[in-house]
Each structure stands twice: as C-alpha cells, then as structure tokens.
C-alpha cells in the first residue's frame, strides 16, 4: 500500500515536465505559478497522509508490543514461563515495529528528494511561504 501511495513522488518529474513546458511558445499557454502551486499542494497532502498513516501504525504497534511484553512479564511473575508462541508473536511485532520506523525514515528521505526536485524547478516561479527553511535548497 505504501508503494502505491508513493507513486505521486515517482511521477512528479513527468508531471512537472508535461505541465510546465520549457518551450516559450507553450509556456505562454500555461500559468506556471498555478502549476507549481498545485503540485506543491498535492505533494503536501500526499506526504501528510502517508506520514500520518505510518505514524499511526507505529503507535498501534508500539501499544501492541507493550501489551504483549506486559502480559509476558505478568506470566513470568506468576512463575510461568513464556511460551514459544508468545515469544514468537512478540518478536514478529517488534520486527514489524522496526520496519515501520524504517518506512518513516524512508518517507522523510523521499519527501526531501521530491521537494528538492520541485523546488529546483519552481523556485523562480512559486515557493510556498510555509516551506520549512531546511527544504529551501538554494
């Protein structure tokens, strides 16, 4: 699901090249400021929704791991041993949590690279005023 959501970033170069032509003749038929503004906004929405989804998954998985670890701790406190099934489930959840954190890190890199490309093409035309300074690549 995350891969399909990231197609917006994969297609941004083609989208920008097709909507913001280099030829002066075609440029007169297009409002480059509007094109850049629309692309920045669509990216912002896509990035925000993906980031929120990943963070929500991280939060739920963290709760799941804490709950499993708490239950395993209670079983040990009662003198019982953790079952192989419980240990395996905890391990799977912890592995999923690591993968989600990696996905969030990848998301930050993808967003930065996409904004960098868009900024380089649109910086003389339009740059959002609320674009963080670390994303202003000049």
In the chain (138 residues long), the average pLDDT of successive 10-residue segments reads 83 85 68 92 93 96 92 69 70 95 95 91 87 67
Q: Which domain holds residue 56?
A: 2-135
What is the residue whose two structure tokens read 């297609």? 11
The pLDDT of residue 67 is 92
* pLDDT for res 62: 96
Domain total in the chain: 1
d(CA 124, CA 7): 26
3-state secondary structure of 123: coil
Report the pLDDT value the prediction gives residue 1, as an integer from 0 to 100.
77
List the helix and strand counts (H, then E) for the chain: 5, 0
């Amino acid at each position: 699901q995350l891969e399909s959501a990231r197609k917006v970033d994969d297609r941004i170069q083609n989208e920008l090249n097709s909507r913001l032509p280099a030829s002066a003749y075609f440029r007169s038929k297009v409002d480059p400021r509007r094109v850049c503004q629309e692309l920045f906004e669509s990216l912002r929405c896509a990035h925000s929704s993906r980031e929120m989804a990943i963070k929500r998954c991280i939060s739920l998985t963290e709760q799941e791991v804490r709950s499993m670890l708490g239950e395993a701790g209670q079983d040990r406190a009662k003198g019982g041993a953790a079952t192989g099934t419980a240990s395996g489930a905890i391990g799977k959840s912890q592995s999923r949590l690591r993968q989600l954190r990696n996905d969030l890190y990848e998301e930050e890199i993808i967003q930065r690279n996409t904004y960098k490309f868009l900024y380089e093409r649109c910086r003389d035309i339009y740059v959002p005023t609320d674009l963080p300074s670390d994303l202003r690549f000049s």
